Amino acid sequence: MKKTKNNHSEPIPGDGEQGRLQELALVLARMNDVAMIEEFLVELFTPAEQKDIASRWELVKRLELGDSQRKIAADLGLSLCKITRGSRELKKENSVFRTALVSCQPLSDG
């Protein structure tokens, strides 16, 4: 990971597609406002892209709940390939999907 000029731990994005993804991740990480992030995503993506991204996140949540891949495919109108990819990512040790799912759990009342 590259360091910023003043040696902070934030990465300096590299070149090419990976660098652009790193830069986008950095922009989102710096935003601390859910409404602002949502508006940013709405402005960045077309309605079709928004639907696709939202469906992909929903499939990850549904896989975690134990829904079958075929049921998810039928309910969300997604290909089994997309669902299988999500399933593979969830099964990985140190899965970022799993970490994200845990961070999205509602807080308990107790």
pLDDT tens-digit map of 26-49: 999 999 999 999 999 999 999 999
> Radius of gyration of the chain from Cα atoms?
17
Is residue 69 within 8 Å of 80, Cβ to Cβ?
yes
DSSP state of 108: P
Q: What pTM did the predictor assign?
A: 0.76
Q: What residue segments make up the domains of the chain, in order of their start?
A: 1-44, 46-110
**Residues 1-27, mean pLDDT to the nearest whole number:** 73
**Residue 92: half-sphere exposure toward Cβ, Cα within 13 Å:** 11
Distance separating alpha carbons of residues 91 and 1, to the nearest angstrom: 26
pLDDT at 63 over 70: yes
